[in-house]
Structure 1
Amino acid sequence: MDLRVAHASELPALVQYADRPEHNAGTAAYLADLLSQKCTRPEWCLVAEDGDGRVGAATALWTLPGSDVPRALVLLEVPWDEPELATGQALLAEAGKLAASLGASELEHVIDSPAQAPQFQADPERRAELLRLAGFSLARDGRRFRRAAGGELPPQDDRLTWRSLAELGREPFLALLAETLPTSADAHFAAGVARHGARGAAEEVLADMEAFAYEPHWWEIGHAPDGTPAALSLPARNPSVAVIGLVAVAPAHRGNGYATAVVARGTKVLVEAGAQEIRGDCDRANTAMSKAFARAGYENFADRQEFSRSL
């Protein structure tokens, strides 16, 4: 099996399956979109070619628009029935070397269940096995939610008074994040606090969110009737869809339904900005956020396992 960068003639198709036309069309369209947005580059698309010249495995490095440092792997396809998944292990090792040479210190990959467009990730158990063999570990066991276009907006919570990033500046957002992250039920945030402390984790989270597309007036802090900061709302757009982004509720104000209020507020902001579909994720262990999405009219359409490895 020969590992190499994909030829121009192989883009955006990569691995094709004779009996899966929907899969082939969907993944090709997805990769074409990523290439057009510079979320990936032709030289970031790796393939494994067998002795007969057929591409039997592939993946592409991914990042947010405007960044030259890869963050994740997408469109991972290998021979899933191969003993020891040797081709997949070799491909992931090569992808890791390439990502590290481009400045990445960590690489992520997600597995969505059930399999769906645009990546159509069949064989989730084998995928997870391959990632573990390649040195990845489970960083988050999550749930995915979405709200389709149309329908009434979720009711707004008039107990909260909202003030935006444009009005407040960045510091109050960092302060509220530093207060909330140490007791969050989200595994990502807990790991960030363990690595960097509360303030450092807050800086990291806010910097990650700032890599998404947003307007300063979208980001808000909701103040409780007593005037104290109670909740934080960071709706945004990723390269594919509008997202609730990040929800945080100050420890002193939990148990008052403010997580639902934040989802409702973010939904209103994004719909008014023209969003046709809105998505949101949370940790499976974060039952309060799952309930908040459900109360705001979102459906749990998939589960998502997020894996990562240091390079």
Structure 2
Amino acid sequence: MSELSLPALSTTDDLRFRPLEAGEFDLFHRYGPLPASGVGARHLPFDELGYRPGWVWVALRGDEVVARAAFWGPPGSEHPFSLDWLDPGTGPDRIEVGAALLRAAYAALVTPGYATPSGARPDYHLFLPADWRERPDALADASDRIAAAEKAGLRRTVERLNLQWLPEYGLPPRPARLTFTPADDDEVVVGLLARIAEGSLDDWDRRNLADGGARVAAERTLAEVADMPGGRRRWRLAHNASGELVGIVMATRNSRNATIGYLGVDPAHRGHGYADDLVTEALHIFVAEGEPEVKDNTDVGNEPMAASFARIGYRITGRRLILA
């Protein structure tokens, strides 16, 4: 049986919506393959992405699976953190079917005790090719999923670049103008993160800043990154030659790969290219530990950070549109 108490089937006209129980994932695959455009494509097969019974939903018309959705959460989480798989179907009513499926799933999964770092309900992560707007097939497939999600009540929040760095791309020299020390003093870290949040171009910072102010934004960032599987032993504070604290890089790991959980430069020291130094320091830490790859992302609207990643040698592997 699934980990949660499964609701009764939700029905709309000739459609039925329900979650899958343990041993039923073959029903999910009965829908068919992902779009040839690459919209929604993941870097691992479905069975390796850690989906759980009860968090995977299908829309049935008779015995035919006409739409499907899968929610994800890290190991041990009580609630799903995100929706990261949605196929609304191909029929003329695909937008309505996809939206109805999401409404049924959200109604069942977002219980009174629901709580995750992303907010009041799982946000939708739509994985996209880097050139999705320039290709008619990708644009059409993406537009269907966006329209279904918006009809279900979700709204676009941010688009991100998915980035990858491999050792074979070349490791930049370690920066000499900064000194790095462990970031093990919570009060120092929170104070710095609070200053960084002010004027940040990052959507996460901006939403937290608007929601609770700089201190709350800093505490949320600290808590979220500290909770990642990589812990905090790789976090570093950066000081300039005068001993002034100029920034932080929170190098860590998620459930699958090395990543920079967060980095930022104190507003008083912006404009000197220190972001490049912070990213480079993280890469040196990862390479020394034998990490085979580093995966990161940044908001499309955060152009300075995107430019920094590009200078260091990261390559764009795709985009991710988030609706919440």
Quick check: 147-156 or 288-297, which moved more?
Answer: 147-156
Q: Are the counterparts in 2 of residues 181 and 189 from structure 1 also a CA contact under 8 Å? A: yes
**Aligned mate of 1:235, from 246, 251, 270:** 251
Among 99, 103, 106, the alignment partner of 2:121 is 106
Tell me if the contact between 2:130 and 2:319 (Cα under 8 Å) persists in the aligned partners.
no
Asked whether the 8 Å contact 1:6–1:42 carries over to 2, the reply is yes
Partner of 2:107: 97
Q: How many residues align?
A: 296
Residue in structure 1 matched with residue 54 of structure 2 by the alignment? 43
Residue 17 of structure 2 corresponds to which residue in structure 1? 3
Cα distance, 1:83–1:99 mapped onto 2, change above 3 Å: same
State percent identity of aligned pairs: 29
Offset of residue 12 of structure 1:
5.8
Question: What is residue 67 of structure 1 aligned with on the other side?
Answer: 77
What residue is the counterpart of 1:150 in the other structure? 168
| Superposition deviation, residue 54 in structure 1 | 2.1
- Cα deviations by residue, 1:99-136 (Å, 9 ceiling, x for unpaired): 212614222111222189xxx99811111111111111
Residues 229-268 of structure 1 aligned to structure 2 (within 5 Å): 229-268=245-284
Q: What residue is the counterpart of 1:83 in the other structure?
A: 93
Q: C-alpha separation between the residues in 2 aligned to 1:139 and 1:283?
A: 10
Instruction: Using the TM superposition, give the Cα deviation of residue 66 of structure 1 relative to its aligned residue in structure 2, in angstroms.
Output: 2.6
Q: Which runs of 5+ in 2 are unaligned?
A: 1-14, 132-137
1:278 aligns with 2:278: no
Alignment of 1:126 onto 2:136: no
For 2:43 and 2:231, how far apart are their aligned partners in 1?
Answer: 31
Distance in structure 1 (CA, Å) of the matches to 2:77 and 2:23: 25
Pair 1:14-2:28 in alignment: yes
The answer to which of 74-83 and 258-267 deviates more is 74-83
Q: Secondary structure at the match of 1:124?
A: helix
1:212 is the counterpart of 2:228: yes
Q: Does 1:54 align with 2:64?
A: yes
TM-score (norm 2): 0.83
TM-score, normalised via structure 1 length: 0.86
Instruction: Identify if the C-alpha distance between structure 1 residues 115 and 131 changes in structure 2 by more than 3 Å, giving closer, same or farther.
Output: farther
TM-aligned CA deviation for residue 2 of structure 1? 1.2
Q: Structure 1 CA distance, aligned partners of 2:321 and 2:170?
A: 31
Q: CA deviation at 1:84?
A: 6.2
2:7 match: none
Show the counterpart of 2:9.
none
Moved more, 98-107 or 130-139: 98-107
Residue 80 (structure 1) shift: 4.0
Secondary structure class of the residue paired with 1:183? coil
SS at match of 2:248: strand
C-alpha deviations, 1:177-210, integer Å up to 9, x for none? 1001121011221111000100001111121112
State the AA in 2 paired with 1:42: P
Q: What is the CA-CA distance between 1:63 and the residue it aligns to?
A: 1.4
| 1:48-72, Cα deviation, whole Å (9 max, x unpaired) | 1211x12222212211223212211
**CA 1:18–1:48 in 2, change beyond 3 Å: closer, same or farther?**
closer
Distance 1:2 1:115, change over 3 A: farther
CA contact (8 A) 2:88 2:94 kept: no
What secondary structure sits across from 1:245 in the alignment? strand
Pick which of 262-271 and 250-259 moved more. Answer: 262-271
Q: Is the 8 A contact 1:15 1:58 kept in 2?
A: no
The question of whether the paired residues in 2 share the 8 Å contact of 1:214 and 1:236 is answered with yes
C-alpha displacement at 1:246, in angstroms? 1.1
C-alpha RMSD of the superposition: 2.6
Q: Structure 1: how far apart are the matches of 2:217 and 2:52?
A: 30
Secondary structure, counterpart of 1:270 in structure 2: helix
Q: Which amino acid aligns with 2:124?
A: H
Q: For the Cα contact (< 8 Å) 2:89–2:98, is it kept in 1?
A: yes
| Secondary structure of 1:188 counterpart | helix
